[in-house]
Amino acid sequence: MTDSTKLHLGVILTGAGGPGHPKTWLDDDLPLDSSVDVDWYIEYARLAERAKFDLVFIVDSQFITPDSPPHYLNRLEPLTLLSALAVTTSHIGLVGTATTSYNDPYNLARRFASLDLISRGRAGWNVVTSGDAGTAGNYGRDEHYDYDTRYGRARESVEVIRGLWDSYEDDAFPRDRASGVFLDPSKQHRLDHRGEHFSVVGPLNIERSPQGQPVVFQAGDSEQGRDLGATIGEGIFTHASSLEQARAFRDDIRSRAVEKGRDPDSVKILPGISVYLGDTDADARRIEREYQAIEYDFDRAVKELGRPFGWHDFSQYDADAAFPDVRAVAALSFKTQADRITETALSEGLTLRQVVERVSAPRPGVFVGSSETVADLLVEWFEGGGTDGYNLHVDHPSQFRRFVAEVVPLLQERGVFRRDYESTTLRGNLGIPVPRNRYSGALVDA
C-alpha cells in the first residue's frame, strides 16, 4: 500500500523531439525514425523498467502543421504503441493520453480496459480535452468545444467510463465446463446512463483487470482543469519551475481533493522535468548550454509561440512592436497558458521579441548538475512537499541512460526510491487502492 516516503518516477518518450525541441533529432544518439520505431520505445521502456520506474507516458495530439515539433509530425498512436510495450515489459505502468473531446466514452473504456488486460493491470489513461483547437477540423466540427463543454464532456466521460469498467463483477464468469455455465448474468450490469453529453446503455464487453480499473491521470491548469483533476485524477501531470511553485500547485490540488471528500495521498502529482547531468555541476551546465544552443532559433520559436494560441501566426507582426492582444484567438486552445503569456506581456509592456525570448530562449534549468547535485534536488523537492515524484523527459537518450546508471542508485541509497517493484500492477506500485466495483466488493490493496 501507499508508502509516502518513496517517490515515483515516470519517463516521457517523445522520440524525435516534442515542444521546445525542434532540433533534438540532430543528436546522432537518437535514431532518425525513433518516433515511429516500436523497437526504440521497447528499448527505453525496458531500460526504465530495469531501473524500477513506475510508468512510461505517451503524450498525444491530433492536429499538426508543418511547424509542429518533429515528434508530433510523425508518431505512433498511444494505445497501439502501449499494447506493444505491454507484451515486451512486465512491471512498468503504461500511460497514454486520450482526449474526451473527440472520443466517445464507450470506445475509450473498451480500449483502455483492453490495454489493462493485455498488460495484466498496468494501464493508465491521461484524460485531456485537446489543447489544439484545430483538432476539430479532423472530426467534422467547425470549431473546438468551449472550455465549459470541454471540461463537462471530460467529467461526464470519466464518470461513464468508470461505470462501464464496472460492468462485470469480479466473479461474473464461472466458466464452468461441468455445469455449462459461462456467465452469471446477475453479475453483469447495464449502465443506462443519460447525461448532458452522452447516453450510454452498456454493459461494456470486457471484464476488470487485476488492478480493477486503469489509473486515471489528468493534466490541465485552468480553474476547470484543476477542479477536474482534484475530482477524478489519481495522478496529475504538470510543470513546475521552482519548489515554491510546485508546492503551491500540489497544496492546491490536495486541498481541492480533501474538499471533495478524497484522500489526498491517493492523488499523485508528477511534474515533467528535464535533467542534464555532467561530471561536475559546471560540466552539466556546459552540456545544457550546448544542447540549448542547438535547439534555439528565434524564427522557429515565433512559430511555436502560436501553438497555445491555436497556431496563431505571430510572424505577421513586427517583432519589435508591442505584443498584440490576441487572447481571443486562444479561447478554444491552450487558454490558460496563452492568457498567462499575454497578461505578462501587456502588464510589463513587452515586445513580441521579448515575449518569445521569455518563453523560449535558453535559460538555466533546475535539475542540472552532477549526479549528486541532481539527486539532492530531487530529494529536496520531494521531502519539501513539492511533488510525489517526477516524469522525466527523454530528450537526449544518453542523458537518460546516465540518469538510470548514476542518479537512480543514489535515490535508492537515500531510501526515497524502490529497489524492486512492490507489485505487478500500476496501482500497486503507485500505492493507489483498487476501486471497489460499485455493485460488489470492498476496497482492497493492489
Ligand X SMILES: Cc1cc2nc3c(=O)[nH]c(=O)nc-3n(C[C@H](O)[C@H](O)[C@H](O)COP(=O)(O)O)c2cc1C
| Footprint of ligand X (CB under 6 A) | 59-61, 97, 99, 128-131, 219-222, 224-225, 237-239, 272, 334-336
By beta-carbon proximity to ligand X, the closer residue of 99 and 370 is 99
Distance in angstroms (rounded) separating the CA atoms of residues 389 and 378: 8
By beta-carbon proximity to ligand X, the closer residue of 131 and 278 is 131
Degrees to nearest 5, angle at CA 304 with 300 and 309: 145
In the complex, the smallest distance separating the C-beta of residue 337 from ligand X, rounded to whole angstroms, is 7
In the complex, the smallest distance separating the C-beta of residue 359 from ligand X, rounded to whole angstroms, is 15
By beta-carbon proximity to ligand X, the closer residue of 210 and 229 is 229
By beta-carbon proximity to ligand X, the closer residue of 246 and 446 is 246
By beta-carbon proximity to ligand X, the closer residue of 83 and 391 is 391
In the complex, the smallest distance separating the C-beta of residue 82 from ligand X, rounded to whole angstroms, is 13
By beta-carbon proximity to ligand X, the closer residue of 78 and 431 is 78
Backbone angles phi, psi at 86, to 5 degrees: -60, -35
Distance in angstroms (rounded) separating the CA atoms of residues 7 and 247: 15
Q: How far are the Cα atoms of 216, 222, 392 from residue 60, in angstroms, in the given order?
A: 16, 19, 16
The DSSP call for residue 335 is H
Residue nearest to ligand X (CB): 225
By beta-carbon proximity to ligand X, the closer residue of 44 and 334 is 334
Q: How far are the Cα atoms of 171, 302, 357 from residue 299, in angstroms, in the given order?
A: 60, 5, 11
In the complex, the smallest distance separating the C-beta of residue 113 from ligand X, rounded to whole angstroms, is 21
Query: Do 10 and 95 form a contact (C-beta atoms < 8 A)?
Result: yes
Termini Cα distance of the chain: 7
By beta-carbon proximity to ligand X, the closer residue of 240 and 375 is 240
In the complex, the smallest distance separating the C-beta of residue 214 from ligand X, rounded to whole angstroms, is 16
The DSSP call for residue 142 is S
Distance in angstroms (rounded) separating the CA atoms of residues 215 and 94: 10
In the complex, the smallest distance separating the C-beta of residue 230 from ligand X, rounded to whole angstroms, is 13
Backbone angles phi, psi at 55, to 5 degrees: -155, 160
Degrees to nearest 5, angle at CA 352 with 347 and 355: 65
Query: How would you class 27 by CB atoms within 10 Å of its CB: exposed for 0-12, middle for 13-18, buried for 19 or more?
Result: middle
Nearest to 212 by CA among 252, 179, 166, 245: 166
In the complex, the smallest distance separating the C-beta of residue 432 from ligand X, rounded to whole angstroms, is 19
In the complex, the smallest distance separating the C-beta of residue 406 from ligand X, rounded to whole angstroms, is 26
Backbone angles phi, psi at 113, to 5 degrees: -65, -35
Q: Beta partners for 237?
A: 270
